Amino acid sequence: MRITKVSAIPIELELNEPFSIANETVETAVNVFFKLETDEGITGWGCATPDTVTSETGETVTAIFQVGFKDILIGSDPTRINLLNEIIEEKIQGNPSAKAGVNMALYDILGKKAHMPLYRLLGGYKEKIETSITIGLNPVDVMIDRAKDCVSKGFSCLKVKCGMEPDHDIEAILGIRSAVGPQVKIRIDANEGYTLEKALRVVETLEKLGADIEIFEQPTPAKYLFALKEITAQCSVPIMADETAFTLRDSLRLIKLEIADMINIKLMKIGGITNALKANVYAELAGIPVMVGCMNESMGAMVAGVHTACAVKNIIYADLDSAIDFKDDVVKGGATYKDGFVIPSERPGLGIEVDL
Ligand SMILES: [Mg+2]
């Protein structure tokens, strides 16, 4: 099989409501869809979600696709994914979300060729995974209302954004805990927003007042490796690295230096499924559990995270809720939600239909 034609289609998708975290607020998200056509009539779809975190935009992704990826892909065998990944990593620096979009399109073709859903082709460890649903930064009452609404819709794991102002954050998280009761899991994510001292004060106060936090994600700036290590050493709540765990090498360094208890791998940061699976192997061998998270990803991108998370044992956490946040996604199928779990499609490949 050979790839005969490729195209990149950027679209701007509107969110249901503005989404705020410690370092930004967004109302729309650019998702760049990649369509890879083959001489066997199989078409693979992938999607890149550029972000400030990845230092990419819709324009940079579309441009690098035309000048970098196109020549590598045209005429190549799409099932030789490890070879293509090696060539891409050698020839193209950075651009991780573009790499992720291309990589998942190759896996979509592989799954369609094999007539198997991707998560089964990759090992099929589980058929579904519980996902958190994110509560963005807002006034306290708005955050509590949103948390109650999510729980009423069947979600029993919340990821509460914090990292702006400790007193506000403590009030919001305690308010959410008392509103949703003790059974709901609460993870918090500061998106690099605290200093070491503030992070410790917030988490110690929350624990003393019974907030019962399951995971504390990226409390301090990504570049301060040893602040994160210090919190990990001092804090009773498990610490998860997200922004600190950017590339495959970052993940290796984090694990080797015992910087965090857990890592959040996002396909858009690490450059796709192939690299995510490698990072997960490092982590598993070191006894470090992994979460698969997402950016502002339409189902076209997020679905690859669902298949990856379900394929292997060591990815025990998922934060795969972004597809719910869009007004009009252009993708159908892929994954469904039930009782707080996200379930990959049993159709071949990623199992999506793209209306573009
Ligand atoms: Mg995070």
End-of-domain residue from the set 58, 90, 115: 115
Range of the domain at 8: 3-115
The catalytic position among 113, 185, 229, 266 is 266
- By the 8 A CB rule, do 116 and 139 touch? no
Write out the DSSP string of 191-233: TT-S-HHHHHHHHHHHHHTT--EEEEE--S-TT-HHHHHHHHH
Number of domains in the chain: 2
The catalytic position among 159, 161, 185, 229 is 161
237 CA to centre of ligand 1 in angstroms? 16
218 CA to centre of ligand 1 in angstroms? 6
Residue from 125, 352, 148, 100 nearest 248 by CA: 100
Q: Are strands 185-189 and 335-338 parallel, antiparallel or unpaired?
A: unpaired
Residues 274 and 185 in one domain: yes
End-of-domain residue from the set 115, 139, 166: 115
pLDDT, mean of residues 83-99:
98
- By the 8 A CB rule, do 73 and 6 touch? yes
1 CA to centre of ligand 1 in angstroms? 38
Cβ atoms within 10 A of the Cβ of 281, count? 13
Residue-wise pLDDT for 330-342, tens only, equals 999 999 999 999 9
78 CA to centre of ligand 1 in angstroms? 32
217 CA to centre of ligand 1 in angstroms? 6
Residues 164 and 293 in one domain: yes
Residues 306 and 339 in one domain: yes
How far does CA 252 lie from the centroid of its chain?
18
Tally the residues of the chain. 356
End-of-domain residue from the set 115, 140, 155: 115
Q: d(Cα 252, Cα 225) in Å, to the nearest integer? A: 13
Residues 72 and 164 in one domain: no
Residues 111 and 200 in one domain: no
Residues 300 and 186 in one domain: yes
Residues 76 and 153 in one domain: no
Write out the DSSP string of 305-335: HHHHHHH-SSEEEE---GGGGBSS-SEEESE
128 given a catalytic annotation: no
Structure confidence at residue 24 as a pLDDT band (50, 70, 90): confident
191 CA to centre of ligand 1 in angstroms? 6
Residues 150 and 86 in one domain: no
pTM of the model: 0.96
Residue-wise pLDDT for 272-309, tens only, equals 999 999 999 999 999 999 999 999 999 999 999 999 99
Residues 137 and 269 in one domain: yes
Residues 218 and 242 in one domain: yes
pLDDT exceeds cutoff 80 at 23? no
pLDDT, mean of residues 136-148:
97
Residue-wise pLDDT for 36-90, tens only, equals 999 999 999 999 999 998 999 999 999 999 999 999 999 999 999 999 999 999 9
221 CA to centre of ligand 1 in angstroms? 12
Tell me the CATH number at 264: 3.20.20.120
Tell me the CATH number at 43: 3.30.390.10
Structure confidence at residue 246 as a pLDDT band (50, 70, 90): very high
**23: phi > 0 → left, psi -120 to 50 → alpha, else beta; which?**
alpha
133 CA to centre of ligand 1 in angstroms? 12
332 given a catalytic annotation: no
Residues 181 and 280 in one domain: yes
Residues 107 and 191 in one domain: no
